[in-house]
Amino acid sequence: MANLTYKVSSVSENDTLTRVNARGLEFVIDEPVNAGGTNLGPNPVEYLLGALAGCMSITARLVAKQMGIAVNHLSIDLEGDLDTAKFMGRSAQGRSGYSEIRLTVNADLEATPQQKLEWMKAVKARCPVSDNIGKATPVQIFLK
């Protein structure tokens, strides 16, 4: 299979609202009211958690199918710790991103305990979003 290039475009409508287009599908990024937004959509760091949840779910089902494991139920809960001081310009220290993301996989699988461990190891290794978050990915920024 060839490498794929994914593209999205966005338009910032005001201080907090951004409309994003991916393959003709639009989604909205916004901040909650208590952060100055209009709460029309999740904020960027919530989308990041959502992207990780979606990718882990898709990868988990793909790996299970390849391993011959039936999935009766699968849900994933995520939470992340974020210090906003750098983002807000109050500090030059620390990270502007999550300091830690915790992911809990709730899976009812028709598999032995050993198969479940092998399955989870493969899911973690093969999830593209987890790979991008967990390892340094070069980001090139161009100003036009």
Going by C-beta distance under 8 Å and a sequence separation of 6 or more, which residues neighbour residue 81?
98, 99, 100
Residue 1's pLDDT is 65
Residues of the chain with pLDDT under 70: 1
Q: Which two tokens stand for residue 94?
A: 């620390």
Residue 101's pLDDT is 97
This prediction's pTM? 0.93
Taking only the tens place, the pLDDT of each residue in 45-67 is 999 999 999 999 999 999 999 99
Cα 87 from chain centre: 19
Residue 2's pLDDT is 80
C-alpha dist (Å) from residue 54 to 43, 75, 106, 119 = 16, 10, 14, 17
Residue 7's pLDDT is 96
